[in-house]
Structure 1
Amino acid sequence: MNVYDIAHSLARAIKNSEEYKDYKKKRERVFADKNIKEMVLDFKKKAIEIQMQRMTGEEVPKERLEKFEKLEEIVMGNPIIYDFFMAEIRLGQMMNDIYEILGEAVNMNWGIRDNEK
């Protein structure tokens, strides 16, 4: 079987997985409500900005972190948003696991996982 055919089979298997179906359902629920959608997108944007700041070695001001933590409490207090983020995490974990399996098959993990050589 061709590698690309197998990749397409894997993509179909992912789309048929409970993790993906749950994520898709919860995402549709978030995007159905304009206010909730805006909250999620704004929260994700701010999270990425802080992450990028940290990755470049720039210190994130304490006030900005405190403000973000308060926003996180508000956002995660919404059960629709909370459920969406939990579904997103589960799907992301599955995708990471798959990527690790593929990386290990071709020795691309560079010994990072489990202190391997």
Structure 2
Amino acid sequence: MPGVREKTEELIDLIKHSKEYRSYNELRAFITHESGIRDRIDSFRRDLLTAQNDPGSDPETFARISKEYEDILENPQVAEYLSAEQAVIQMMRDIYERLGSAVALDLSFLGEVKELNI
């Protein structure tokens, strides 16, 4: 197990020094100091995540959310921040998928899982 822990620490270091993560952190520092913008971004992200996880959401739902938050979405720094955040999320998703597909676990006991509330 020490080898796995050591490699995990190496991976963490690689992630923290990646272009994607550095860019995200720089933009996050700016957004954090802009409380009005930060609150709007957080609200936008909550509404978007809720819509993405609601099977009943249709294109009109997403259009309404885009319209409601148009003021911040047109801000170039906000757009850059959200893009950087997505790049980090995608990087992490890719890592999780690679690990999950490479390390087989018997999860048949779960049966058909309808919904996971994480």
* Structure 2 unaligned residues grouped into runs of 5+: 106-118
1:62 positional shift: 8.2
Q: CA RMSD in A?
A: 2.5
| Cα displacement string for residues 72-114 of structure 1 (whole angstroms, at most 9, x for unaligned residues) | 4333201111000110111111112212221232146xxxxxx
Change (3 A) 1:96 1:34: same
Identity %, equivalent residues: 29
Instruction: Point out 4+ residue stretches in structure 1 off by more than 6 angstroms.
Output: none
How many pairs does the alignment contain?
105
Change (3 A) 1:42 1:105: same
Residue aligning to 2:11: 10
Q: Secondary structure at the match of 2:85?
A: helix
Change (3 A) 1:3 1:75: same
Residue aligning to 1:90: 87
TM, length-normalised to structure 1: 0.75
* Structure 1 unaligned residues grouped into runs of 5+: 109-117
Distance 1:76 1:45 in 2: 14
Distance 2:97 2:59 in 1: 35
TM, length-normalised to structure 2: 0.74
